[in-house]
Structure 1
Amino acid sequence: MLLERRDPEREVDADGIVLDREAKERLLQKLAHWMLLNDRTELDRTTAVEILARFLPAIPSAGEQGTAEELFDHLLHRTGLLRIPTPGSVDFVHRTFQDYLSAKEAVERYDFPFLVNNAHRSDWDEVIRMGVSLARPDECATMIENLVSPRPGLPDQHFRTVVARPTP
């Protein structure tokens, strides 16, 4: 709803940028994935704009409509998924959005070993669950197999944490 219907249903065209859901999602995924890779729940505006600028050539429908700065402002003000918690920084309004978008990016990049290798971290619980649910059937099966199999170098207590972690 936030990515597709929010502005059209309210008949808002505030900045002249009209991105389809896929373009918005792909840009937001890049921000969320960077935050996951760098163990952050927020990032500064400058870094966010630089991340978008780096990926704009891969998303031509977005790059045609504005600069990375303009697109960042559009995502910030028009999607309802980002907010400014303190001057100069940005985060997702809810951690679930960040976890979903970063898991989606990891699955699209085939970063399954990356997800499995971080499954022992409690702050990654939702990312791992969403990664499993977003993966294609064969990838899902492999990921689950790797999650429940002991791995060399992973301490026993981490393995037990991944396998036996209770669900709320």
Structure 2
Amino acid sequence: MDNLLAQVTGRKRVVLYSPQDALHLYLSGDKSEVLDVDSPDLERYPNFVKACRYECILEPGDLLFIPALWFHNTLALQFGIGVNVFWRHLPLDSYDKKDPYGNKDPVAATRALQALERALGALDELPAEYRDFYACRMVLRIQSRAYSNET
């Protein structure tokens, strides 16, 4: 969901990454495997340096709008209080009814990811050469549908 972060007291650094950089963030579910964005392990995560980093410091009284799908990392620079306000902007049936805080993927995205896992499981039934060939075809099909390739 979209998020408005209000810094009430103290100071906080916020680092953000656009959803267009998802391929460089080493995603595992909805989180990045790169935990230390200041000193990433580039042997393990070499493409992380390709992600465009946006950074700001929040002072008391500052508000930061964090759009849905933007990855963010926060670091308290001094003790403080921050308040997040989330809201839904997709049609109500897009959200999991058992997820009042909007932490889960939209329902359609969950179904798509589950279908992908089933497809990958099916490919595992093939010999390696066939599995790799059909996996490449799947990747090309997904890339041809990706919005980021339209620019």
Which range, TM-score by smaller chain?
A: under 0.3
Structure scoring higher RCO (CA < 8 A, sep ≥ 6) equals 2
Structure with higher Rg: it is 2
As a proportion of its length, which structure holds more strand? 2
Please report the TM-score for the alignment, with normalisation by the length of structure 2. Answer: 0.27
As a proportion of its length, which structure holds more helix? 1
Please report the TM-score for the alignment, with normalisation by the length of structure 1. Answer: 0.25
